[in-house]
Amino acid sequence: MAQAVHAPHVVVLTSPGVGHVAPVVELATRLAAHHGVTTTIVTYGSLSSPAHSPSLASLPAGTISTAALPAVAVDDLPSDAHIVTRIVTVVRRSLPHLRALLRSLLASSPAGVTAFLADMLCPAALAVAEDLGVPRYVFYPSSLMSLCTLLYTPELARTTSCECRDLPGPVVLPGCLPLHGADLVEPVQERANPVYELLVQLGLDYLRCDGFIVNTFHALEHETLEAFKELSDRGVYAPAYAVGPLVRSSSDVAAGGHRCMTWLDAQPDGSVLYVCLGSGGTLSAVQTAELAAGLEASGQRFLWVARVPNDMDNCASYFGGEGDGDDTLGYLPEGFLERTKAVGLVVPEWAPQVEILGHRAVGGFVSHCGWNSALETMAAGVPVLAWPLFAEQRMNAVKLGSEGVGLALRVTAREEDGVVPRDEVAMAARELMVGEKGAVARRKARELQEEARKALVPGGPAHRALAAVVEMWKRAAASPLVAVAAAAGAGL
């Protein structure tokens, strides 16, 4: 009797945070729509945010399911523990729950578990999949250059003793832009912080995987991809597959009649500067006031997604905790809303970013340079004014700027307090929207928009890369040795 053939079934473990959940949802959607793969997306009960829910609730029934690992205690961590420390601690303490879930899926799912994908902050979980005989991959939702620097972190820690910002020369990795130490990921900037050693271990844990599935595309990181392939061909690293940009398509339904879309409809083409510093980005009260004053002085039309300031933590809203509209607007300078009502709109907390960037009225984007936002602005062909805050955002700003693809200008903060003053905001906003440098960035943005489109068409580079990965999964699932190992891991 012929054995039934089931669609490949992959399990994807995502880190907490909208910036991690959203690209996982898009990856699972494409796997189902274009490659016939079913997916279980695994989230964490700890550190979850209500902002995750809309993305997960919209998943197509039958092909994509979700599971949440039980919450684990993290109240023993210091109150000022780094955000990555909190996430990695949750990942490690949840490993027994993950093992139980994978065993259950191996035993109960018709296709078992064809492959296991761990998010960039969850590579400790690869050991569980390895023990259970399941092919294991890292889903990396940021740039390949960023991945290269994290893989290099153990070597950097071994060969240097100073803080990253004090490195005597740039870090030069194969196929990557030269990076000053201060532009490396923010968690490695302070050796005394416990998060430093966690990042070193992260780089070592990546070596357990069978491949990296990266949210990038060839035209954006061609040289890095070629150099990484040479390394993987020599067995230094597992191969990398560029499957991006994983960006949600614009949808009138998704915008949901948001009032900012009605406001944009009334603005001239290319005239509005969109200001949003990400789902987790938070400014201080002083910086919020300077940004407001700079936008007003610039004379440019603007749409600003503003959040309640926080003087202690620039990623205070990462796990949610948003204020209401009155709280947010109350922090703006007195009279600001009235004085700018003819040219500006301030939206508290959230707005439909993909739809905004795709609107004909938007001509520029003040962005924190989170990778999701970077890809979304490329897909829309909108130039950027880079304002990095944390994580790998400084590195992304370098990649987007004149040293890299050239679609971003940069704001400059004062050395004494790190605040970007109002005069700088006004000057940079005008340059992006109506200056010569802005015009060059706009041309570069449109060129990348076309390249991003080409990457995703059927038969394009991203489609082929993902198809190649799926074919490997299918071959692995058909292997008797893999089937025996998986059955043994499931306790069958």
SS3 408: strand
Catalytic residue among 9, 52, 82, 119: 119
β-pairing, 384-386 with 240-242?
A: unpaired
Cβ 107 vs Cβ 490: under 8 Å: yes
Amino acid making up residue 298:
S
| C-alpha distances out from residue 282 to 90, 336, 385, Å | 23, 19, 17
Q: Which residues of 380-395 are buried (b: 16+ CB within 10 A; e: fewer)?
A: bbbbbbbbbbbbbbbb
Cβ 241 vs Cβ 212: under 8 Å: yes
- Measure the CA–CA gap between 277 and 279, rounded to whole angstroms: 7
SS3 83: helix
76 is catalytic: no
- Measure the CA–CA gap between 483 and 478, rounded to whole angstroms: 7
Judging by beta carbons within 10 Å of its beta carbon (0-12, 13-18, 19+), is residue 80 exposed, middle or buried?
A: exposed
Cβ 303 vs Cβ 272: under 8 Å: yes
Left, alpha or beta for 421 (phi > 0: left; psi -120 to 50: alpha)? beta
Q: What are phi and psi of 436, to 5 degrees?
A: -65, -40
- Would you name the residues annotated as active-site residues? 20, 119
